[in-house]
Amino acid sequence: MQELNFVALNKFCTAWLQKAERVDIGPLEGVFDRFFTLWVVFNRLYEEAGRSLAHSRHHLYAVFVSKRGKKKFTPPPDRISATKGIVVFVGEDRLKVKIFSNDEATIGLKYIHDSILDGILYLHENYETGKPAPEIDQDLATKAISGSVESILILLYQVRCNLFHGQKSFTESQRDLLNGMSAILVQIIACSMEAIGERATHA
């Protein structure tokens, strides 16, 4: 594993966070731009967390480590790092407190939860039928609002996948969803940067 350069990591994340702050979210495209910009930061952080856990042979990455062989610099699985690895690395309780103590993040999470349970929003689909799979979204939303950080991250990751792969339309109806997701991301990023900084200090 390459040694972490926390100064460079912090500089990278800070620059992209400042970029996100400068985005004008009045126009709809600005809402999308801010979410994507924040995701760049989160991606960098959960990749670092995943590399650290894989290096320590955490059980989450057992299959990955066994299959990569001599390719020791192969990046760990993206979805695992974004939804599970970052929780292990930072700590679920720490992330939960950060998210649920912030008004914008909790309002955003409640909007996502209510929209899913009211049938206004769906994120997952049945890959056999191509139709929405509301039962998956409803289960995740219920767990998320009850404090499951992993469920929150799975919802975030699915939104990211839908947008990146063009499975969701670029419409005004996405504004509140993405604003809510961005508010949650800001808290997760802040908490993750703190945790990585502490590990770098004590390394």
Domain ranges (residues) in the chain: 6-202
pLDDT confidence bin for 169, thresholds 50/70/90:
low
Single pTM value for the model: 0.91
Question: CA 195, CA 14: separation in Å to the nearest integer?
Answer: 15
Residues 35-66: tens digit of each pLDDT: 999 999 999 999 999 988 988 889 989 888 88
Q: What is the pLDDT of residue 73?
A: 77
Residue 35 in contact with residue 182, Cβ under 8 Å?
A: yes
Residue 183 in contact with residue 105, Cβ under 8 Å?
A: yes
**Token match 């939960």: residue?**
96
Question: CA 22, CA 125: separation in Å to the nearest integer?
Answer: 34
Question: CA 104, CA 109: separation in Å to the nearest integer?
Answer: 9
Phi and psi angles of residue 202, each rounded to the nearest 5 degrees, phi first: -95, 5
Residues 95-115: tens digit of each pLDDT: 999 999 999 999 999 999 999
Question: CA 200, CA 71: separation in Å to the nearest integer?
Answer: 25
Alpha helix locations (H) across 2-81? 6-22, 28-55, 62-68, 78-80
- SS3 of 27, please? coil
Percent of the chain residues past pLDDT 70, beyond the cut: 95
Residues 113-145: tens digit of each pLDDT: 999 999 988 899 888 888 889 999 999 999 999
Residue 135 exposed, middle or buried by CB count within 10 Å (0-12, 13-18, 19+): exposed
- SS3 of 72, please? coil
Residues 64-92: tens digit of each pLDDT: 888 887 777 788 889 999 999 999 999 99
Phi and psi angles of residue 125, each rounded to the nearest 5 degrees, phi first: -135, 160
Q: What is the pLDDT of residue 136?
A: 95
Average pLDDT, the chain: 91
Indicate whether 4 pLDDT > 80. no
pLDDT confidence bin for 203, thresholds 50/70/90:
low
Question: CA 142, CA 201: separation in Å to the nearest integer?
Answer: 37
